[in-house]
Amino acid sequence: MNNELINWLLEGPEWLQYKVKADLLSLSENNDELILCKDKILKDNIISGLIKELNEWPGAPLKNHKDSTHPIHKLSFLVDIGLNIKDTGIETIAEKIILHKSSEGLFQSLIFIPEHFGGSGEGKWSWMLCDAPLLVYALVKFGLGGHSDIKNAVRYLASLVSDNGWRCIVSPELKFRGPGKKEDPCPYATLIMLKLLAQYEDLKNSTECKICTECVLKLWENSREMHPYMFYMGTDFKKLKAPLLWYDVLHVLDILTLFPWLKEDKRLREMLEIVSSKADNEGKYTPESIYTKLNGWEFSQKKEPSRWITFLVYRILNRLKA
């Protein structure tokens, strides 16, 4: 990555500058430049607004796991830009998440399931395998991964793996399952479980991760025939999109490249070639699909290159070079 591109990225907002310096330029967390950058992030009206909103956790009930404006995805974004338990307002968010714990030791979301799908028709504290891993992941990234309650939650989630990935599993009191065969893996649950387990060095090379990276890569290899739970890896999947909250090529690559032993896998390389081919003459990347509810963010337009998406692509490429 040339200096011109780096300088262009560093013209972006403070939160993006922080990630460029930390992830692409490898500055340590204690570097004075990063400390100053973090201070400016916390004073940014948009970021401080998100923190304030999440201090009212849980917010509105979760009705659609793909809703880009739901607090669980705003939480993930704060994690993605590098905020942690030391930063103003984050400890309060973590405390409120930990407050609601199931009998299995998982942290719950306020979930709404309509009566015609077997729900109560109102918000209920519970968990699904398409939200619980995200809450645990956030707590780990905030710096709480060593706490016994967090480690117990990780162990329980890991124990739910099957021989073909993580399936559509929900809290026992929920009479609900997604639109697919019971024995099929849920691609999204499998993806975010890999994202979680990759945060622990002793789990990164585990049997669970071997099984489930293979699950995702096999779905890519057989994308014409295999679409469990209506998750496709077709045209829409291949479009560049941010933030990383659902099942698309950038999110998949961002997670699979956390596992060094996949570096030379030809299926991963095929996905990477598709993404790399989308660069313009200056090596920048433009969004091809957007979350319309996130209007105003620099990655929520399709007319010009996005610094955030460009950063994500080069972070993926850097991991494969390491």
What tens digit of pLDDT does each residue of 78-94 get?
999 999 999 999 999 99
In a domain, 76, yes or no: no
* pLDDT for res 117: 58
Element (H, E) at 132: helix 132-139
In a domain, 6, yes or no: no
Residue 263 neighbours by CB under 8 Å, 6+ apart: 320
**What is the span of the domain harbouring residue 263?**
234-322
Residue 98 neighbours by CB under 8 Å, 6+ apart: 107, 139, 149
* pLDDT for res 115: 64
In a domain, 266, yes or no: yes
In a domain, 272, yes or no: yes
pLDDT in tens, 105-148: 999 999 987 665 555 667 889 999 999 999 999 999 999 999 99
Torsion, Cα 95 128 141 232, to 10 degrees, reads -150
Element (H, E) at 110: strand 109-112
> What is the pTM assigned to this prediction?
0.95
Which stretches of the chain score pLDDT less than 50? none
In a domain, 308, yes or no: yes
Q: Are strands 109-112 and 123-126 parallel, antiparallel or unpaired?
A: antiparallel
In a domain, 136, yes or no: no
In a domain, 309, yes or no: yes
In a domain, 127, yes or no: no
Number of domain units in the chain: 1
State the CB neighbour count (10 A cutoff) for residue 108.
21
Which residue in the block uniquely carries the two structure tokens 């494969």? 320
Alpha carbon distance 142, 93 (integer Å): 10
